[in-house]
Amino acid sequence: MTTARLAPFPDDWTRALAVVAHPDDLEYGTASAIARWTSEGRAILYLLVTRGEAGIDGMAPEQAAAVRAQEEINSAKVVGVDTVDFLDGHRDGIIEYGLPLRRDLAAAFRRHRPDVVLSVNHRDTWPGGWLNMADHRNVGLGILDAARDAGNRWVFPELLAQGLEPWSGVHHVAFNASPQPTHAVDVTGFLDRGIASLAEHRAYLAGLGDGTTDHDAQLRGAAESAGARFGVEHAVEFEVVQL
């Protein structure tokens, strides 16, 4: 992980769309920052590329999809988010980077018109060197390309027929848990809500089969470490890409 000084997260925005591959992706850090931002009156909406149907071993995909989608809706409410949308046509575990994904994301950016897009690590590895999964990498790359696609009326012109006018207003894409963080958000006073949002994923966490993991301590330790680097009690780090 970089030891360079972290900059404060950009503050010149009012509306963000959080886009991730699976239910629970946002709850390992980003949700604490979202809790702060919603408390400040900023509008945050969630968009899930899948319903996490392949995420619970021993539970049929159609059942897991329904369970995990509801857990994400419940989790979002904990941090002040009321709108949770899901894309169709992309399968958990085998999300492909390509034109269908770019088109669906560009349509979402035109529809919701965010200033900022939030997501999770799109790099090949996590901090510490562990391999990142293809779903996260492909969604991250799709977000970066679709943020630009959304502003060009001649890319995916079929979106115009759906009443979706171009949107060039995405100024930053921010990836949590990147091994190359550039910015941080002070989440002192909001960490508990972020941790509570992860706890709403009861079926998923139980399905992991790892009863020894203390997720409270895990998230608290990460926020304390980031806070020490940023000069506050608790922080969440992001790699911010400026468009």
DSSP labels, 163-221: T--------EEEEET-SS--EEEE-TTTHHHHHHHHHT-HHHHHHTT-TT--HHHHHHH
Residue 136 counted as domain residue? yes
User: Average pLDDT over the chain, rounded to whole?
Assistant: 96
Report the residue count for the chain.
243
5 falls in which pLDDT band (50, 70, 90)?
Answer: confident
Residue 178 counted as domain residue? yes
Residue 21 counted as domain residue? yes
CA distance 36 to 77: 13
Checking if the pLDDT of 1 tops 50, the result is: no
- pLDDT (tens digit, 9 = 90+) per residue, 39-95? 999 999 999 999 999 999 989 999 999 999 999 999 999 999 999 999 999 999 999
CA distance 30 to 16: 12
Q: Where are the beta strands (DSSP E) in the chain?
A: 7-8, 15-20, 43-48, 84-86, 116-120, 172-176, 183-186, 235-242
What is the domain range of residue 15?
7-242
Coil, strand or helix at 131: strand
Residue 2 counted as domain residue? no
Q: Span 102-112, mean pLDDT?
A: 98
Residue 36 counted as domain residue? yes
Total domain count for the chain? 1
Q: Where are the beta strands (DSSP E) in 121-171?
A: none
pLDDT of residue 38: 98
CB atoms within 10 A of CB 188: 14
- CATH of residue 33: 3.40.50.10320
Judge contact between 169 and 195, C-beta under 8 A. Answer: no
CA distance 24 to 205: 9
Checking if the pLDDT of 4 tops 70, the result is: no
Q: Among 19-33, 151-165, 210-224, where is mean pLDDT lowest? A: 210-224
Residue 1 counted as domain residue? no
